[in-house]
Structure 1
Amino acid sequence: MQVPKKTGNSKLVKKLNKEEVLQQVVLHGQISRADISKQTQLSRPCVSALVDEMIQEGLLQEVGMGDSKGGRKPILLEYNYQAYAIAGAIFEGSTLDMAIADMKGEFLARYRKRLAQPANGETVIEDLAAGLDRLLRESGIPRERLLGMGVGLQGVTQRGSGTVSFSPSTGWMGSPIQQTIEARLGLPVIIDNDVNMMTLGEYVRGAGVGHTNVVYMYVGTGIGAGIILDGQFYRGSREAAGEIGFMMIGPVHNRPNGASGVFETHYSIPGIQEQAKGFLSDLQEGSSVIEELIRHAKHNPEAEKLLADVYRHWAYGMANIISILNPEILILSGEMVHVDGEGVKQIHEWLREWVPEVPNLEKASLGERAGLIGAVHSVLEAFPFTRLLDKE
């Protein structure tokens, strides 16, 4: 390991040394001052002075005694994961889901709200601001200890420019939405497509753990997919990769400007409900249309026919994805988690018939937490631990 030279700008040298110490603590979980000295090749007095300062700043904490190596038992140090916090938010259909988490990504407080419909950009941002104020009060986190927020939005988002190029539900068409949210909230914001945030959540904490080629397929008020290839998100040239709701699956129609694609129109939740309204007129808000179709299919031929049609068309979408991307695992999420064992078996049989290599089909394991976990993790990725030293 290269040790910073003790010449030049003493303030810079001190910062570099503190970065080395912090990296060792985060890397090892718990470590003694003596072992930090060995790993960094910094002198023990230097390490002790830096550690004492970082304890005072709230970044490190002493957590007990380690095993003796012949002398006194060493005092172990640990990063204080509660020193700072991160916020996450997901707009999913007509719902805003928000949370504040510590630096491990563990939720400290959570808030969920039904949004007024039809939504518009201004009211949505005000809902976001009000939700953040509530989370700060409930968690007791001072605003100045909040590092940033990850926000999952419906539509085609450009992370680099901070814009949303296509979002009919809010009217954000080419708007500099990241800048607008940052100005309103007074903190750094990372935006991404809502399904990408869900994909990231399942990739780091859920069904995608241990896989490097993952497709996450989501059916809700819309249809979309998140794509991870060789451990990296694939976003496409204009960050519109995964907009599978525009696949030509289902009866083709003329799409008015700003309308949904063919697949999404017919086989998202609203599309299925529209086809089922003749025999699912009593469908309660918040209930699963697939669970209701499965229940009605036992005694209603129309429901049985529609259920088979939905499964088959969802499988068409999966076959298209698999034949192009060849993922290790295809994660079924949103309304698809309600498909029963018989339905999953039928979809798998179709795929075996249609494509040469069928990936593992797994249901999402994190439920509605996936997007929030992804939103929080997006900030953790963008804000490395060593940058916390700049906060002091």
Structure 2
Amino acid sequence: MRSSRKTGSSKLVKKWNKEEILQQVIQHGQISRADIAKQTQLSRPCVSALVEEMIQDGLLQEVGMGDSRGGRKPILLEYNYQAYAIVGAVFEGSALEMAVADLKGEFLARYRKRLAQPADGERVIEDLAAGLDRLLAESSLPRDRLLGIGVGLPGVTQRGSGTVSFAPSTGWMGSPIRQTIEERLEVPVIIDNDVNMMTLGESVRGVGVGYSNVVYIYVGTGIGSGIILDGQLYRGSRDAAGEIGYMLIGPVHSRRDGAYGVFETHYSVPGVKAQAKAFLSDLQEGSSIIETLIGQARQDNQEAARLLDDVYRHWAYAMANIVSVLNPELLILSGEMVHIDEKGVKQIREWLTEWVPVVPRMEKARLGEEAGLIGAVHSVLEAFPSTKLLDK
């Protein structure tokens, strides 16, 4: 229980009292005006007046009658999670994933678009704007009820300055992306690295729930990781933590400005496909290269078996390096890694047991393409907590 504050201007005290009321409603789920007064030690007339204002503003709603305690049944109040909406968006490789969600983070509508290749930064932002219009129309939401949009972007993303300092796939090098997107969409924007968004999603809704030290490893068009230490997403001194695609794993080459890292050049999805083309001429667009190699290996294709073993081994090298430095409780395997079969997972565990003294729990990601969207939505909820809605 928190006592009401007595100091400050009347306007500020009113806001503080509304915050206390809102927190009580969110905490209890459903609560009466009388119980709010008891919990906050505010007078019943004060609670009634402020609740009425918050109902008019759309933040609270009456949801029915509670149990009687000897008099009239009280009217119960509930937080209106549909008062505002949030949009999450994630760019990865050749696809844009978007979703609009309520203040609980529950999706109301989804949108997906294949992007032209090679990706063009300006075109990508126009695709984002078109996707937002589509989502708002589909969910019948006016733009002024949109709280903000969280955007997961490939490359080294500076949340503070709103820039992307290094993104080979889009050509964004030091560009003020957050400002550009905000001006185009006319809504507040939170940006972060796409894999960080996926990591956040798996941590709040997926296989990472309950773990404080987690490394999320993603293999797709590139290779990256998200790092959670002591319950906090770790970004490093210049927001470049987790860029494991630049590990010197695989044949080392002289990297030109704007090029991919050594590890992801050889062992990302495009890198593995490039190696597989030497003996597989009919790779299907959009199919899993790992599933294809597993299928071929089971049919005694020795080249496929050798490449599969090589990929697993090099992915395991990265895991061993990560484990040696960070000692996480959990490794989450995502992207193309979710297609590793039971035999492959067992082999990787055996290698790690041989190479490092402490092997963490290893799980495949549970949320799939939704992970990044959930993380993007959650990033906006963190930036705009419920009490901030009182300022709108």
One-letter amino acid of the counterpart of residue 111, structure 2: Y
CA displacement 1:144-199 (0-9 Å, x = unmatched): 00010000000000000000000122111011110110011001000000000000
CA distance in 2, matches of 1:316, 1:338: 18
- 1:368, distance to aligned residue in structure 2 (A): 0.5
* 1:151 and 2:151 matched: yes
User: 1:314 corresponds to which residue?
Assistant: 315
Pairing 1:236-247 to 2, within 5 Å after superposition: 236-247=236-247
Structure 2 equivalent of residue 137 of structure 1: 137
How many residue pairs get aligned? The number is 390
In the TM superposition, what whole-angstrom CA distance separates every residue of 1:365-388 from its partner, at most 9, and x where no partner exists? 000000000000000000010111
Please name the residue that 1:328 is paired with: 329
Distance 1:200 1:234 in 2: 11
- Name which of structure 1's ranges 325-334 and 65-74 shifts more when overlaid on structure 2: 65-74
Q: What is the CA-CA distance between 1:280 and the residue it aligns to?
A: 2.5
1:302, distance to aligned residue in structure 2 (A):
0.3
> What is aligned with 2:187?
187
Q: Distance in 2 between matches of 1:182 and 1:274?
A: 38
Residue type at the aligned position of 1:376: V
Structure 1 distance, partners of 2:325, 2:191, is 27
* Equivalent residue number for residue 388 of structure 2: 387
The 3-state SS of whatever aligns with 1:365 is coil
1:64, distance to aligned residue in structure 2 (A): 2.0
- Do residues 368 (structure 1) and 369 (structure 2) align? yes
CA distance in 1: counterparts of 2:345 and 2:28, whole angstroms: 42
Once the two structures are TM-superposed, the CA of residue 70 in structure 1 deviates from its matched residue by 3.7
Q: 2:70, 2:345 → 1: CA distance?
A: 59
Residue number in structure 2 paired with 1:121? 121
Instruction: Give 2:166's aligned residue.
Output: 166
Q: Aligned residue for 2:224?
A: 224
Paired with 2:346 and 2:353, the residues of 1 have a C-alpha distance of 11
Matched, 1:234 2:234: yes
CA distance in 2, matches of 1:146, 1:120: 27
Segments of 4+ in structure 1 off by > 6 A? none
Pairing 1:276-287 to 2, within 5 Å after superposition: 276-287=276-287
The 5 A counterparts of 1:23-172 are 23-172=23-172
- List gaps (5 residues or longer) in structure 2: none
User: SS of 1:327's equivalent?
Assistant: coil
Give me the whole-angstrom Cα distance separating, in 2, the residues matched to 1:8 and 1:209: 40
Deviations 1:292-340 (A, max 9, x none): 0000001200000100110010000000000100111000000000001
Cα deviation for residue 238 of structure 1 reads: 0.6
One-letter amino acid of the structure 2 residue matched with residue 373 of structure 1: I
- What per-residue deviation string (whole Å, max 9, x for no partner) do you get for residues 200-244 of structure 1? 000000010000001000000000000000001111111100000
**In the alignment, what sits opposite 2:212?**
212
Q: Secondary structure at the match of 1:367?
A: coil
Q: Is the partner of 2:369 in helix, strand or coil?
A: helix
Could you say what secondary structure the match of 1:89 adopts?
A: strand
Distance, in Å, in 2 between the alignment partners of 1:232 and 1:242 is: 14
User: What is the letter of the counterpart of residue 380 of structure 2?
Assistant: V
- d(CA) in 2 for partners of 1:25 and 1:283? 55
One-letter amino acid matched to 1:74: P
- Cα separation, 2, equivalents of 1:134 and 1:102: 16
The residue identity in structure 2 corresponding to 1:337 is V
Structure-2 separation of matches of 1:76 and 1:350: 58
Check if 1:201 corresponds to 2:209: no
Residues 292-303 of structure 1: pairs in structure 2 closer than 5 A: 292-298=292-298, 299-303=300-304
Give, in whole Å, the separation in 1 of the partners of 2:171 and 2:343: 40
Instruction: Give unmatched runs, 5+ long, in structure 1.
Output: none
CA distance in 1: counterparts of 2:85 and 2:281, whole angstroms? 45
Shift of residue 252 of structure 1?
Answer: 1.0
Superposition CA RMSD, Å: 1.0
- In the alignment, residue 48 of structure 1 is paired with which amino acid? S
Distance in 1, Cα, partners of 2:146 & 2:187: 8
Q: Which amino acid aligns with 2:225?
A: A
How far is 1:8 from its partner? 5.2
> Percent identity over the alignment?
80
TM norm structure 1: 0.98
